[in-house]
Amino acid sequence: MKKSILLNAIILIQILIVPSFCSAQKFNDLALTPPMGWNSWNKFACDVSEKLIKEIADAMVSSGMRDAGYIYLNIDDCWHGERDSLGFIHENHERFPSGMKALADYVHSKGLKLGIYSDAGTQTCGGHPGSRGHEYQDAITYASWGIDYLKYDWCNTGELNAKEAYISMRDAIYSTERPIVLSICEWGTYKPWTWGAEVGHLWRTAGDIVDCWDCELGHGIWTSNGIMKVLDMQKDLRQYAGPGHWNDPDMMEVGNALTVSESRAHFSMWCMIAAPLIAGNDIRTMSKETKEILTNTEVIAVDQDKLGIQGFKMFDYGDVEIWAKPLSNDEWAFCFLNRADKPNPAELNWKENNIYDDFFHKKAEFNKQTYTIRDLWAKKALGTTDETFKTIIPAHDVIMIKIVPKK
């Protein structure tokens, strides 16, 4: 009882005093490159448990995903038990019998970080207790458990102001003094890219993704979208992204119902637009092809480039698109995307297509500089930019290359 009274007193002091003696903010030294990890929702939805999370942690290590950069292991909705008489949230003890603190310790022992989920409304999307009115209590609880990442959803929020609701959780997290990545998940409804950089570390730019190439699935009052439709929703957003603040087109469906080609294209385009790389498949049983896609360190390096510049569509020929992304050291990545159901040719005459990225002040003048070309999926050299680049792109697939100034 004394402990509960003390915790309530601490919360009250934080609510009343913290804003007056320091300027609450997010932790600015987190997510300097797009966060990488795994999330339970796309594959398991509400079927989460301590056993599952431990097995995923083990698989992240044994599969090589951790060493490839996937650090955050994120538990999505439905981990919740009930709030106690003082308003503190508890884990579901049947699903998580050892408790969340013990699970966090296990995850940390594997060289990983643990993420968790809550909602700005009264209930989560799955009908469990949301954080509205309990932001400081929940932040203190998460910090005491050793949580490193919070996905904060937007169900059951009524007339709440989105920016203010996310600021409330941001301030609560900051008051705990534990660095926690804040993932703003309000689906792009209130244009979080215009205010999210000062509030969180990433923000959803669209509704939920689904594991199909170019479909749209209706769910009554909302829809989920396939890979290409989500990609199209990223138009005109690149200027808002950068180190510590990222556009988030949603978690990946690589290795779920997509074909190998579609998974490769999906992964490549997420890397081209500097998206968070949050896997959503069952990595315990993934195929060799899925593992090779998710752990291709050359493609991952495009996503994780320290400049943090989101790529852009250079040419649009309907079924075929050519995307470009500036990288460090005057290097560039290019992705030739084939949206069609059949193979398509593509070519790029470098000498006639100098690139000027006026927003980020980057350029490639191919009439003055020769670059070497490397195929990032075939992992082989492809000549130089002195010759026109010609290729055949398989259906629903990509050719992804990196060019490096020739010395």
**Both tokens of residue 40?**
């339970």
What's the start-to-end Cα distance of the chain, in Å?
71
What's the pLDDT band for 6 if we cut at 50, 70, 90?
Answer: very low
pTM: 0.94
* Nearest of 309, 316, 317, 254 to residue 287 by alpha carbon: 254
pLDDT (0 to 100) of residue 21: 35
Domain with CATH 2.60.40.1180 in the chain: 312-405
List C-alpha distances in Å: 49 to 76, 81, 100, 265.
11, 12, 10, 31
The answer to whether the beta carbons of residues 274 and 303 sit under 8 Å apart is yes
Q: Is the pLDDT of residue 295 over 50?
A: yes
The answer to whether the beta carbons of residues 213 and 262 sit under 8 Å apart is yes
What phi-psi label fits residue 127: left (phi over 0), alpha (psi between -120 and 50 degrees) or beta? left
* Contacts (Cβ under 8 Å, ≥6 apart) of 264: 293, 377, 397, 398
Q: How far apart are CA 68 and CA 61, in angstroms?
A: 10
Domain with CATH 3.20.20.70 in the chain: 27-303
pLDDT (0 to 100) of residue 18: 43
pLDDT digits (tens, 9 = 90+) for 129-188: 999 999 999 999 999 999 999 999 999 999 999 999 999 999 999 999 999 999 999 999
pLDDT (0 to 100) of residue 83: 98
Q: How far apart are CA 261 and CA 259, in angstroms?
A: 5
- What is the CB neighbour count within 10 angstroms for residue 381? 10
Using alpha carbons only, how large is the chain's radius of gyration in Å?
22
pLDDT digits (tens, 9 = 90+) for 354-396: 999 999 999 999 999 999 999 999 999 999 999 999 999 999 9
The answer to whether the beta carbons of residues 186 and 162 sit under 8 Å apart is yes
* Contacts (Cβ under 8 Å, ≥6 apart) of 52: 40, 44
**Both tokens of residue 273?**
């637009």
Q: Is the pLDDT of residue 256 over 90?
A: yes
pLDDT (0 to 100) of residue 23: 65
Q: How far apart are CA 301 and CA 304, in angstroms?
A: 5
List C-alpha distances in Å: 122 to 127, 166, 220.
9, 14, 21
The answer to whether the beta carbons of residues 403 and 384 sit under 8 Å apart is no
List C-alpha distances in Å: 241 to 68, 143, 244, 307, 397.
23, 27, 8, 11, 26
Q: How far apart are CA 307 and CA 370, in angstroms?
A: 22
pLDDT digits (tens, 9 = 90+) for 146-160: 999 999 999 999 999
Q: Is the pLDDT of residue 9 over 80?
A: no
Catalytic residues: 153, 208
* Contacts (Cβ under 8 Å, ≥6 apart) of 152: 117, 118, 119, 120, 131, 166, 169, 182, 183, 184, 185, 200
Computed over every residue of the chain, the mean pLDDT equals: 94
What phi-psi label fits residue 329: left (phi over 0), alpha (psi between -120 and 50 degrees) or beta? left
Q: Is the pLDDT of residue 246 over 60?
A: yes
* Contacts (Cβ under 8 Å, ≥6 apart) of 352: none
The CATH class of the 312-405 domain is mainly beta
Q: How far apart are CA 168 and CA 119, in angstroms?
A: 12
* Contacts (Cβ under 8 Å, ≥6 apart) of 378: none
- The superfamily in CATH containing domain 27-303 is Aldolase class I (3.20.20.70)
Q: Is the pLDDT of residue 20 over 60?
A: no
3-state SS class at 321: strand
3-state SS class at 174: helix
φ, ψ (nearest 5 deg) of residue 400: -120, 130
Q: Is the pLDDT of residue 15 over 80?
A: no
Q: Given the DSSP bridges, would you call strands 80-83 and 89-91 parallel, antiparallel or unpaired?
A: antiparallel
